[in-house]
A and B are shown apart, each in its own frame.
Chain A
């Protein structure tokens, strides 16, 4: 009898954290809207296909192969797209849809990337930072810009 209770308890304990993790749909910060060629998402040391409709999280690394490209839209309507042989690390993303306050740090480690700012930059220009191996970029006013990091 005790044994059964103990087992139930253990089961509950084992299931709970998983339930919380998968139930937290709010973890998703972006969605892939365009995907061509070979696109992969590196998440928790795993490589996942970066296909159309795939949702992205903070800490994901997006990588494109040669002749490949990918475009994504974030919760605050920021957009990011990568050309071939590119890599971007979504270091930090938080956004409050009520106040439009948030923080977005992206690391471009190689390749070509274009960026369109979203609601959080419209709300406060400092909200978004894009880091490259040689510089830190910040949109002063909402709009689009593009970056290339070669020879890495």
Chain B
């Protein structure tokens, strides 16, 4: 009798403290994978969307989440997930910090993305092609980033929320030899998050 009640109380305690793990698919229905290493028990890997694992006294297994189960348990935390960061690449005319006409139009898209967010922060990174010295390109990249920053500020974005820096010719989008004019490398990346 005593052993039975002890067994039941262990079950009760184990039933109270419980953990669950689940893979959430992205908009396209794909998911990553998750490896779970419970202390002192065999590890489990989840690798399919909505695959779920529950901790327990006997180790953990895996199964597919019931319809509605993920929303019932995690709905609140999933609803509080931030809007995913979005990246834009805008291009410049050779040797200048002036955007190409097409990129000027694309700036509108950047603004739409900023407006969607309650507390946007923006990272601007300037790049150059390999024409000119590395020093000159570091300066040009920074000038491009700062020009974008000034433009965003002029259009009403809070300066506190913008970080601008240059990477010169260190991160080419198209690999070229030195001193090659490459329009795709003369760019600024704007990340809105």
The residues of A with any CB-CB pair to B shorter than 8 Å are: 31-34, 36, 52-53, 69-73, 77, 79, 81-84, 86, 98, 111-114, 116-117, 132-152
Contacts and interface: CB of A to CB of B under 8 A. Distances in A.
Contact of A135 (B22, B32, B55, B75): B55
B48 to A, nearest CB: 11
Given A112-B76, A135-B37, A150-B17, A143 B81 contact: no
Interface residues of B, number: 46
B159 interface: no
A141 B25 CA distance: 12
Which applies to chain B's interface (DSSP): helix, strand, loop or mixed? mixed
Contact of B24 (A77, A112, A145): A145
B53 to A, nearest CB: 9
Contacts, number: 153
Interface string B68-95: 0010011111111111110000000000
Contacts of A73: 82, 85, 193
Interface stretch (B1-9, B38-46, B97-105, B149-157): B38-46
Contacts of A151: 16-18
B36 interface: yes
B33 to A, nearest CB: 4
A53 B60 CA distance: 38
Given A82-B77, A83-B74, A136-B37, 20 more contacts: A31-B121, A33-B117, A69-B76, A73-B193, A81-B77, A98-B167, A114-B24, A132-B19, A134-B55, A135-B55, A138-B37, A140-B34, A141-B32, A144-B23, A144-B25, A146-B77, A147-B19, A147-B20, A150-B19, A151-B16
Q: Give the secondary structure class of A's interface.
A: strand
A53 B37 CA distance: 34
B47 interface: yes
The 3 residue pairs across chains A and B that have the minimum distance between CB atoms: A143-B32, A83-B77, A33-B82
A39 to B, nearest CB: 10
Contacts of A72: 82
A146 B21 contact: yes
B30 interface: yes
B143 interface: no
